[in-house]
Amino acid sequence: MRSPIDRAAVERLTAQRAAKLRARSPRSRALFERARLVMPQGVPSSFQAVEPHPIYIERGLGSRITDVDGNEYLDCHNGFGAIVAGHGNPVIARAIAAAAATGTQFAAPSLASVEVAEELARRFRLPRVRFTNSGTEATLDAIRLARAFTGKDVILKIEGSYHGHHGAVMVSVHPPLELAGPRAEPRPVPFSDGLLAGEVARTVPIPFNDADHLRRLLEARRDVAALIVEPIMMNIGIVMPEPGYLAALRELTARHGVVLIYDEVKTAITIAAGGGVEHFGVVPDLVCVAKAVGGGTPLGAVIGSAEIMELIATSRVKQLGTFNGNALAMAAARATLLEVMDGAAYARLERADAYLRAKLDAIIDRHGLPAYTVGLRAKGCVVFSDRPIVDYRSWAMYLEEDLNRLAWLYHLTSGVYMTPGGDEQWNLALTHTERDLDAFADAFEEFARDVTRSA
Residues forming contacts to ligand PMP in the complex (CB under 6 A) are 80, 134-136, 139, 162-164, 230, 235, 263, 265-266, 290
- When the beta carbons of 424 and 450 are compared against ligand PMP, the nearer one is 424
Candidates 256, 433, 437, 260; CA nearest to 363 is 437
- When the beta carbons of 232 and 317 are compared against ligand PMP, the nearer one is 232
Backbone angles phi, psi at 302, to 5 degrees: -110, 130
The residue from 291, 359, 391, 392 that is catalytic is 291
- When the beta carbons of 102 and 322 are compared against ligand PMP, the nearer one is 322
Please give the distance of CA 95 from its chain centroid, rounded to a whole number: 25
Q: At closest approach, how far in Å is the CB of 210 from ligand PMP? A: 19
Neighbours of 390 (CB within 10 A): 17
Q: At closest approach, how far in Å is the CB of 44 from ligand PMP? A: 11
Element at 157 (helix H, strand E): strand 154-158
Say whether 363 sits in a helix, a strand or coil: helix
Candidates 250, 233, 253; CA nearest to 241 is 233
Torsion 400-401-402-405 (CA) sign? positive
- When the beta carbons of 82 and 217 are compared against ligand PMP, the nearer one is 82
- When the beta carbons of 35 and 290 are compared against ligand PMP, the nearer one is 290
Q: At closest approach, how far in Å is the CB of 359 from ligand PMP? A: 27
- When the beta carbons of 246 and 290 are compared against ligand PMP, the nearer one is 290
The sheet carrying 203-206 orders its strands as: 128-132, 300-304, 286-289, 259-263, 224-229, 154-158, 203-206
Q: At closest approach, how far in Å is the CB of 266 from ligand PMP? A: 5
* Helix axes 7-23 and 434-451, enclosed angle (nearest 10): 130
CB 302 within 8 A of CB 150: no
Residues 130 and 381: their CA atoms lie apart, in Å, by 32
Q: At closest approach, how far in Å is the CB of 141 from ligand PMP? A: 12
Q: At closest approach, how far in Å is the CB of 261 from ligand PMP? A: 11
Strands 259-263 and 224-229, bridge-based pairing: parallel
- When the beta carbons of 18 and 378 are compared against ligand PMP, the nearer one is 378
**DSSP E strands, 362-433:** 372-376, 379-383, 416-417, 426-427
- Residue 448, CA atoms < 13 Å, CB-side half-sphere: 22
- Residue 151, CA atoms < 13 Å, CB-side half-sphere: 1
The residue from 56, 73, 162, 262 that is catalytic is 162
The residue from 67, 141, 263, 391 that is catalytic is 263
162 an active-site residue? yes
Q: Before 52, cis peptide (omega within 30)?
A: yes
Say whether 13 sits in a helix, a strand or coil: helix
| Residue least distant from ligand PMP (Cβ) | 135
436 an active-site residue? no
Q: At closest approach, how far in Å is the CB of 443 from ligand PMP? A: 25
- When the beta carbons of 230 and 391 are compared against ligand PMP, the nearer one is 230
Q: At closest approach, how far in Å is the CB of 165 from ligand PMP? A: 6
Q: CB burial class (10 A; 0-12, 13-18, 19+) of residue 191?
A: middle
* Helix axes 135-150 and 306-313, enclosed angle (nearest 10): 90
Residues 133 and 214: their CA atoms lie apart, in Å, by 32
359 an active-site residue? no
Q: At closest approach, how far in Å is the CB of 166 from ligand PMP? A: 9
Element at 79 (helix H, strand E): helix 78-81
Q: What is the CA radius of gyration of the chain?
A: 22
- When the beta carbons of 64 and 266 are compared against ligand PMP, the nearer one is 266
Residues 202 and 188: their CA atoms lie apart, in Å, by 8
| Catalytic residue list | 162, 263, 291
